[in-house]
Chains A and B, each alone.
Chain A
């Protein structure tokens, strides 16, 4: 569990005519054992927000604190595109970001590789690595932190694989006390997984903050889930987001 406090967060790229506002005056608090989804059209600053939260980018202005039991949190980050070292095996890629290389760590890595059906492929090198990893491998690779950022982790997957991984993700989130911030452009996915959906609009403006109060597990074919999804989409229409 972690606590995130963002106030007046502003991010611009470039100067002069090239200036792009990626995030405009975002105020936000996320805390406890929650699953928060961020949805919005592409280019609305979703990845930028995660990059700032994880320390890769620095904000132009505003402040943020990320704490975990009173101390600075060390989040895990699943990037939008797989970021793997092509000269290392799959297993060594996972170990690269681990603090220790104990057999316990290895076993944990192996467990998550098995979960995404990469378990037998530990020693393969780049070719096959890229074929499989670019789609599936990145997200469960780093599964130790109590705060996790995920940037469209399932968007490259086929519907069936994505569905089963969504289920795995949910049960892991439910079984642990992790805080997850999950970027997606799929409203159905957001409704299925999250307690809370943040809606961003072009220009990096936080438009809406929706609580989804439905029991888990949520089956996408379940009527209540379908209704919730329709309601979120309706809000999108009201906010005029679907047109963009």
Chain B
């Protein structure tokens, strides 16, 4: 038996993998990443229930203040089916916020791209706007929220401006880098062959700008969304942020948790249903763009703490100041 095993181990080029296959079934199942992933959810639920119990026991207050997973589930189910005690249901609420996000996004992309191109092409334009862009980058969304709701009141204007102001510096900086890194040699090549200026812009400049525009759009959306929720929360009468606050004011923890989950779901849908397919199409020609990379760059900005000091780098682009 030993002899046979030794021989098969020697003759097989994949002997390391074979050896794991000889582990007992139970051990193999326990080690599999898939199981670990599946186990995560029940683990969270158990942790949740236990901590609920511990908190209620040790502080001895009314445990109905705490939310159970079932309550959160019921709340989310009711919201999804349009049944709510809040002034507007889930769809109206997200509709209002998405309209603001969309409008702000379009404005910040248009204005930001124009300014970014100007700053990339001209040193003087860059010098003129540079400090303002840096100031915008450094400004916390909360400051905008308070400032804008003070001067613009409770309508749509404040939230839209919050989206614009939060996202626009990232658009400007990205587009500027894109313009600065346009391939000079490809332009020279087209010049030498007498390719028309229009064709040069369309087939050389735009494709080389695309990765930067795309990164800009991602930032404008994700950071704009966060700014939007904050201003709705502090200075709004409706929208997703305001409704979140509504549940908080009503002391309904299940509503607060449920709405947070909706935010997460919204971010995931935006990433996987809208952004990722577009990115996959547009960057089909880029061999280095593999999936793990795409998933990494989701709506999470905390991952890039260096953002404000401009040393941020990501997959699509490098936002860096070259002085």
Contacts and interface: CB of A to CB of B under 8 A. Distances in A.
Interface of A: 51, 54-56, 74-77, 79, 81, 83, 85-88, 96-97, 125-127, 142
Contacts of A86: 285-286
A125 B193 CA distance: 23
B189 A79 contact: yes
Nearest to A79: B189
A121 to B, nearest CB: 14
Contacts, number: 47
B188 A83 contact: yes
Contacts of A85: 186, 203-204, 207
A87 B186 contact: no
Chain A contact residues: over half helix, strand or loop, or mixed? loop
Interface residues of B, number: 18
Contact of A83 (B186, B207, B285, B287): B186
Given A126-B287, A127-B287, A87 B207 contact: yes
A125 B192 contact: no
Interface of B: 185-186, 188-195, 199, 203-204, 207, 284-287
Contacts of A81: 185
Contacts of B190: 96-97
A79 B287 contact: no
B185 A76 contact: no
B191 A56 contact: yes
A54 B192 contact: yes
| Nearest 3 Cβ contacts at the A-B interface | A97-B193, A83-B189, A127-B287
A76 B189 CA distance: 10
Given A85-B203, A125-B284, A125-B285, 20 more contacts: A55-B191, A56-B191, A56-B192, A74-B194, A75-B192, A77-B192, A77-B193, A83-B186, A83-B188, A85-B186, A85-B204, A85-B207, A86-B286, A96-B203, A97-B190, A97-B194, A126-B286, A126-B287, A127-B287, A142-B193
Contacts of B186: 83, 85
